[in-house]
């Protein structure tokens, strides 16, 4: 009878191979880039929603100003008339501030104001120049778009 000599067993340690690690990191990178892409759309949507809220708040303040001063501020007086008493004519006699400050748009720009309106169904235009900072192009958002959804 032959005796077999025991072969030394090769001991394997439990570990990940380089290929497994690379595949895992690739999958994580793909998922992360997809999430960032989807998140960007949500941020843009949130900015549009904020502009809508700001336009509504400014519109309400303008209505309150008009009910007290019997007219809306002129284009020259601007939205600043909602925060502090105008110094140029027509100066309202029965003045009070209707906002603590005029909000800035989500891109850090001041809202534009014009009376009489050129685009809105209201008697005034209030708008933001949008992300590009250029007035008069398609990314401008104003109360004329908000009026269409009322």
**Residue ranges per structural domain of the chain:** 19-148
Cis-peptide into 64, omega within 30 deg: no
What local confidence, expressed as pLDDT, does residue 101 receive? 94
Q: What is the mean pLDDT of residues 75-100?
A: 92
More confident residue, 98 or 44: 98
11-24 core/surface letters (b: 16 or more CB in 10 A; e: else): eeeeeeeeeeeeee
133-142 core/surface letters (b: 16 or more CB in 10 A; e: else): eeeeeeebbb
pTM of the model: 0.70
What local confidence, expressed as pLDDT, does residue 2 receive? 64
More confident residue, 137 or 81: 81
The dihedral formed by the CA atoms of 132, 137, 142 and 148, expressed in degrees to the nearest 10: -130
CATH class of 19-148: alpha beta
């Amino acid at each position: 009878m032959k005796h077999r000599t025991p072969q030394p067993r090769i001991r394997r340690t439990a570990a990940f191979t380089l290929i497994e690690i690379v595949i895992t990191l690739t999958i994580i990178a793909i998922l992360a880039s997809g999430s960032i892409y989807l998140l960007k759309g949500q941020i843009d949507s949130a900015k549009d929603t904020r502009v809508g809220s700001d336009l509504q708040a400014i519109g309400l303040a303008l209505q309150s100003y008009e009910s007290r001063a019997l007219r809306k501020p002129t284009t020259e007086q601007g939205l600043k008339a909602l925060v502090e008493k105008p110094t140029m004519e027509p100066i309202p006699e029965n003045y009070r501030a209707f906002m603590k400050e005029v909000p800035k748009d989500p891109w850090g720009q001041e809202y534009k104001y014009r009376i009489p309106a050129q685009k809105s169904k209201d008697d005034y235009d209030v708008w933001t120049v949008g992300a590009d900072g250029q007035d008069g192009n398609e990314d401008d958002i104003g109360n004329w778009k908000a009026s269409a959804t009322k």
